[in-house]
Amino acid sequence: MTILVTRPEQESQALCDALNQSGHPAISHPLITIHPGNELSQLPRLFYSLNDGDFIIAVSQHAVEHTQNYLKQLQLEWKQGVNYIAVGQKSAQHLKKYISDPVHYPTHSDSEHLLALPVLQNATGKKAIILRGNGGRDLIYQVLNDLNVDVTYCEAYQRQAIAFDASIKTREWQEKNVNTLIVTSGEQLSFFTSQFTSTDLNWVLKLRLLVPSERINQFAKELGYQHIETVGGASNSDLLHYISEHHYDGIFK
């Protein structure tokens, strides 16, 4: 049986390579491409507005890399003296390449675990910048805003959906015995599901679906998916570990 991975191209291919090497057949089908965001020009002003002890939150390695590329073009550095938070270990590793300050990150790569970090428990009255794509991570904004944190989004990168012929792909995936689907964001799950009609959609909704969080699990139920498992994180390492623990003779249990 085969696993269909829908992450952006770089992460998707890396995960497929690791899965295939470990004996779990996998094929890559990226749903989005990544481009520089429309709000990068706001970064100098936003960073200047921060005080010591405020927060910069990077929601992905794409947010880190596109921010770094823009700052490098302007010969600017990352803000010093603030609390840096990354959504997971991979994003934190990317961030640590460019800053000397500590980087806080949760053990599970999702918004819920990020918001539980001790460093955010006394955030009231502080400022926070969320480096994100075009949309997403609204839960982080909402919770921090409720704590009277002055939160600002900065679109560091853009996700653009990749159109595909769902009917042709369905036949291809059935021929390759796809039985498991990995989707790591609600936005991508919504887009993927919307591409199918009637019979093909019935097949898709019966696939075993791996998602990173209970929030996306609930969303998948609302879309009609019937076999959903929550991995507990969105990183490739989280997914690899989960699959290694729940995969026996080609069947998830």
**pLDDT band of 66, cuts 50, 70, 90:** very high
- Judged against a pLDDT cut of 60, whether residue 248 lies above it is answered with no
CATH 3.40.50.10090 fits 2-31+163-252, yes or no: yes
Confidence (pLDDT) at 253: 47
Q: What is the pTM of this model?
A: 0.79
**pLDDT band of 247, cuts 50, 70, 90:** low
- Judged against a pLDDT cut of 70, whether residue 251 lies above it is answered with no
Strand partners for 128: 55, 151
What is the pLDDT averaged over residues 217-229?
97
Strand partners for 151: 128
Q: Which CATH class is domain 35-159?
A: alpha beta
Confidence (pLDDT) at 90: 83
Domains 2-31+163-252 and 35-159 share a fold: yes
Confidence (pLDDT) at 218: 96
- Residue written as tokens 């840096």? 84
Q: How far apart are CA 193 and CA 212, in angstroms?
A: 17
Q: Which range among 12-16, 151-155, 245-249 shows the weakest confidence by mean pLDDT?
A: 245-249
Q: How far apart are CA 102 and CA 53, in angstroms?
A: 12
Quote the longest CA-to-CA distance of the chain.
Answer: 57
- Judged against a pLDDT cut of 70, whether residue 252 lies above it is answered with no
**pLDDT band of 111, cuts 50, 70, 90:** confident
Decide: 5 and 182 in contact? Cβ < 8 Å: yes
Decide: 164 and 195 in contact? Cβ < 8 Å: yes
pLDDT tens for residues 41-61?
Answer: 999 999 999 999 999 999 989
Confidence (pLDDT) at 148: 95
What is the pLDDT averaged over residues 52-76?
96
Q: Where do the structural domains in the chain lie, given as residue ranges?
A: 2-31+163-252, 35-159
List Cβ neighbours of 55 (8 Å cut-off, separation of 6 or more).
82, 83, 84, 85, 120, 123, 126, 127, 128, 129, 149
What is the pLDDT averaged over residues 183-209?
94
Strand partners for 2: 178
Residue 172 is encoded by which pair of tokens? 């291809």
